[in-house]
Amino acid sequence: MKILMLTPYLPYPLLSGGQIRSYNLIKNLSQKHEITLFSLIKDESEKQHLPELKKYCHKVQVFKRTFSPWHPKNILQAGFSLYPFLVTRNLVSGTKEAVETEIKNSHYDLIHAETFYMMPNIPKNPVPVILAEQTIEYLGYQSYADKSQLFYLKPLFFIDILKIKLWEKHYWENCNFLITMSEDDKQFISTVAPDVKNIDVVANGVDIDWFNQTKKHLPSDPTILFVGTFKWLPNSEAVDFLVNDIWPLIKTKMPSAKLLIVGNSPTAKALSYQQKDSSITVIGGIPDIRDAYAKAHVLLAPVFSGKGTRYKILEAMATGTPAVGTKIALEGLNITPGKQAIVANTAEEMATAVHNVVSHPKLQQQLAHNGKKFVSEKYDWKTISTKLDKIYRQVGGSS
C-alpha cells in the first residue's frame, strides 16, 4: 500500500516520545508499505537527518515552521482565528498545498496523521485518513492552566483550551479511523465523543533488541532517574514536584542519594535545580539514553496530568530498571502494581517506595525481571507495528 504520513516533527533523531514512535513505526512498516513522509522542522540543520529516514521512506519532504512557537505570527493567528495556538504553530505555509499536489499526482491508499493538529494541513479529498492521538492534548493544557499563577492570563488560557477541545473532538469524529495509545484513552474518548465509531489502540513500544544491550553499572550512591522531554507540560510539572516535594524526603532517608534528570529541551528553571543542590544533575540531551538507565537504581515518574503511554516506563522496564510512578504515569500499561512496577501517588509514598527498592536488592531483581518479561511480550515495536498494519489494510481496503 502507498501511505502518506504527516508528522509535526522530523522522526529522527530520537529525542522525544513522538520521534521514537514515528521512527520505529516507519522502520517496521516500510517492509510492507511504500511510505512518503511529510514533516515539519524548526531549523535547516535538521535536514542532516534525512538520509536516515530515506532508508525507510520512498520520499521525505520537510516544511519549516517558526523556530520559536511564540513567534508573533503564531500568537496573532491564534488570537484572530478559530484555531488554537497549538494548531497555528503547526500551520506552515505551503504544506496543505503540497499535500494536495501529492495526492493529485500519485495514488495513495491512505493518509496517516500523527496528532490532531496536523489535520488542518490535509485538504478535503477522497483518501481515507487515519489519525493517531499520542495524547489527549486539551487535558494537559487544562491541567497547566489550572495550576498557573498567571491569573491575568487565565481567561486567554481557557479560551485557547476550549478551542483545542473543540477541534480535537472535531477531528476525532471526522477521520476515518482514530488510534489511541492506550485502552484508557480509548474509553475516555468514547465517553466524551460518543460519535467516534472507528477507534482502536496501537500502543507505544520499545526496541527490545536495542535496550536488551544495556549493561547495568550501578554507582555506590543510590541514583534516582527522571526521563522526559520538557516540551511536554506534564513533564515540567513532574520535575518541579520531584525536586521540591519528593527529593527532600528521599535525601532524609538516603543522604548520599543522587538525582539524575535527563530530558530534551530543559527549561531554565529545570537547569537551575542543579545549581542549588549538588546532589542533582540535569542533562539536556544524551547521545544514548541507555547510559542513563545503566547507572540508575530506580526510575521515578511523578506525572499527574496528560494521557498516553509513557516511554520512560517502558524503557526502564526494558533495561531492567525498577520503576516507581503515579497511577497516571502507569495508566494504560495494564501492569500488576507491585509486580512489574510500583504505584505511588504522594510525595511520601514515592520517597518510601524508592527507599524500599534501593534498600532491598531482591525487590530490585524481581521488578527488573518482571518488567523485562512484560515489555518483551507486549510492547515490542515488531508486535505494535503488526497491529497498525492490520488497521492500514482495513482502512485502505487492501487484503
**Separation CA 49–CA 39 (nearest Å):** 12
Q: Alpha carbon of 359 to those of 121, 175, 276: distances in Å?
A: 53, 50, 27
The span from the first CA to the last CA of the chain, in angstroms, equals 10
pLDDT digits (tens, 9 = 90+) for 36-91: 999 999 999 999 999 999 999 999 999 999 988 889 989 898 988 999 999 999 99
Residue 149 has pLDDT above 50, yes or no: yes
User: What pLDDT, on the 0 to 100 scale, is given for residue 251?
Assistant: 97
CATH 3.40.50.2000 maps onto the chain at 2-205+380-396, 208-378
Burial of 194 (0-12, 13-18, 19+ CB in 10 A): exposed
pLDDT band at 139 (very low <50, low <70, confident <90, very high): confident
Residue 398 has pLDDT above 70, yes or no: no
99-113, 148-162, 355-369: which range is least confident on average? 148-162
| CATH number for the segment(s) 208-378 | 3.40.50.2000
User: What pLDDT, on the 0 to 100 scale, is given for residue 132?
Assistant: 97
Residue 134 has pLDDT above 60, yes or no: yes
Q: How many CB atoms lie within 10 A of CB 231?
A: 17
Residue 368 has pLDDT above 60, yes or no: yes
User: What pLDDT, on the 0 to 100 scale, is given for residue 129?
Assistant: 98
Please state, for a pLDDT cut of 90, what percent of the chain lies above it.
Answer: 76
Mean pLDDT of all residues in 131-158: 84
Residue 261's identity, in one-letter code, is: I
25-39, 144-158, 174-188, 345-359: which range is least confident on average? 144-158
Q: How many residues does the chain have?
A: 399
Helix axes 154-174, 137-147, angle to 10 degrees: 170
Please name which of 252, 259, 247, 248 lies closest in space to residue 222, comparing C-alpha atoms: 259
Please state whether the predicted TM-score (pTM) of the whole model is above 0.75.
yes
Burial of 157 (0-12, 13-18, 19+ CB in 10 A): middle
User: What pLDDT, on the 0 to 100 scale, is given for residue 150?
Assistant: 78
Domain 2-205+380-396 indexed as CATH 3.40.50.12280: no
Coil, strand, or helix at residue 298? strand
User: What pLDDT, on the 0 to 100 scale, is given for residue 399?
Assistant: 41
Which carries the bigger pLDDT value, residue 235 or residue 102?
102
pLDDT band at 152 (very low <50, low <70, confident <90, very high): confident
Mean pLDDT, the chain, whole residue set = 93
pLDDT digits (tens, 9 = 90+) for 288-309: 899 999 999 999 999 987 665 5
Burial of 357 (0-12, 13-18, 19+ CB in 10 A): buried
Residue 274 has pLDDT above 80, yes or no: yes
User: What pLDDT, on the 0 to 100 scale, is given for residue 308?
Assistant: 53
Mean pLDDT of all residues in 184-212: 93
Grid coordinates of 286: 544524551
| Residues in a beta bridge with 177 | 130
147-151, 176-180, 237-241, 270-274: which range is least confident on average? 147-151
Residue 71's identity, in one-letter code, is: H
Residue 144 has pLDDT above 90, yes or no: no
